[in-house]
Amino acid sequence: MAARLLLVVGIAASVIGLFGTVLYFFQPWRTCPYDDSPAACAMLPGDAAVMAAAFALLCVGVVTVVIALIVRTQTQSRSSL
Total domain count, the chain: 1
Report pLDDT digits (tens) over 31-80.
888 877 777 788 899 999 999 999 999 999 999 999 999 999 888 777 76
Which residues touch 60 (CB under 8 Å, ≥6 apart)? 13, 17
pLDDT given for residue 16 in this prediction = 98
Q: Is the distance from CB of 27 to CB of 43 less than 8 angstroms?
A: yes
E strands present in the chain: none
Mean pLDDT in residue range 4-23: 96
Mean pLDDT in residue range 8-34: 92
Q: Is the distance from CB of 10 to CB of 41 less than 8 angstroms?
A: no
Domain that holds residue 7: 2-79
pLDDT band at residue 23 under the 50/70/90 scheme: very high
Q: Is the distance from CB of 51 to CB of 23 less than 8 angstroms?
A: no
| Beta bridge mates, 35 | 32
pLDDT band at residue 81 under the 50/70/90 scheme: low
